[in-house]
Amino acid sequence: MKDDKTNRRIPELDGLRGCAILLVLIWHYGVGPAMAHSEIPVNAFIIRGLNLAWSGVDLFFVLSGFLIGGILLDNRTEPKYFSTFYIRRICRIIPVYAIWLGIFIAILQLVPEFTTHPSTSRLFLAPFSLWFYATFTQNIAVAWQGTFGADWFAVTWSLAIEEQFYLVLPLLIRFAPPRCFLWIVFALISAAPLIRYATVDNALAAYVLMPCRMDTLLLGVLAAYLLRHDRSRALINAHLRWIYGLFALLFSGVIYGIIAPIDLFSRPMTILGYSWIAIFYSCFMMYPFVKTEKVGLLQCMDLLSHHHS
């Protein structure tokens, strides 16, 4: 029987997940089509206000790093650490993904007219080799070929990033010496903008390759780590005014990105903007836990340890 704690929810995190979903939907079904088709009459002010809706996927990355990284941190010394994590990960991802891949193959083989019909052809146009999709390396194909491939799988580049990241993170958390863990995380977070700078001539690669986007996921892991240690929680609570000031600065940068507007693949956004937005989302996500009193915060940490189990 499941512990009752596993059925309890954290409303703040559920709300953030809902916001991320809404932003992604707005970008793909609202802003994106309106920008691609100038004949669609949409108020320019509305488009500008939703200029950063694409960052919903970044919010997903931060949440994923926070929740899954937290689970790994809580269980790093368990004897079945790797097997438990990967079995759960496989059970969560592979069945639905395999069905989606199977439907795609079945349509190509059994209903080929779907691939040429004007209303459905984009779903099947110019797919990558099925090996890329089967091995969660389609983001590498995106960077290599300069296109997201068939629309049926276009959004799965972010899933590929996560799956590649979660091949590495369990090793880092399990084997990194505790005294060095924070330094390693900070070094990797700092390395991501440098890698993006090195690939800035291929802005799409800087956007979809895991090493280029690992800072967003690791910031979520960092938040989970900080909230699980008394010393770091006490330090945060002792300097809340500075934290609020940092949040205000980050928020002003986000507002500037909306008003300017700064393009998704522009050099400033590619090199520093992704990290800026990820830090903003991380601070926003931590706020409910930072504001919670000590007992309540410990209860929240207890919930977090079961939230992704």
pLDDT per residue over 141-184, tens digit each? Answer: 999 999 999 999 999 999 999 999 999 999 999 999 999 999 99
Spatial contact of 23 and 53, defined as CB atoms under 8 Å apart? yes
Low-confidence ranges of the chain (pLDDT < 50): 1-7, 39-40, 293-299, 301, 303, 305-309
Question: CA 239, 243, 249 angle in degrees (round to 5)?
Answer: 145
pLDDT at 299: 46
AA letter at 163: E
Spatial contact of 188 and 30, defined as CB atoms under 8 Å apart? no
**What three-state secondary structure class fits 292?**
coil
Beta-carbon contacts of residue 301 (< 8 Å; ≥ 6 apart): 227, 228
Instruction: Compute the mean pLDDT over every residue in the chain, rounded to the nearest whole number.
Output: 85
Token pair 């008394």: residue: 230
- Nearest Cα residue to 13 out of 75, 65, 54: 65
Spatial contact of 60 and 216, defined as CB atoms under 8 Å apart? no
AA letter at 186: F
pLDDT at 46: 59
pLDDT at 126: 86
Q: How far is it, in rounded angstroms, from Cα 300 to Cα 99?
A: 35
> 5-32 burial, b if ≥16 CB within 10 A, otherwise e?
eeeeebeebeebbeebeebbeebbebbe
Token pair 């926070």: residue: 66
pLDDT at 116: 81
pLDDT at 48: 65
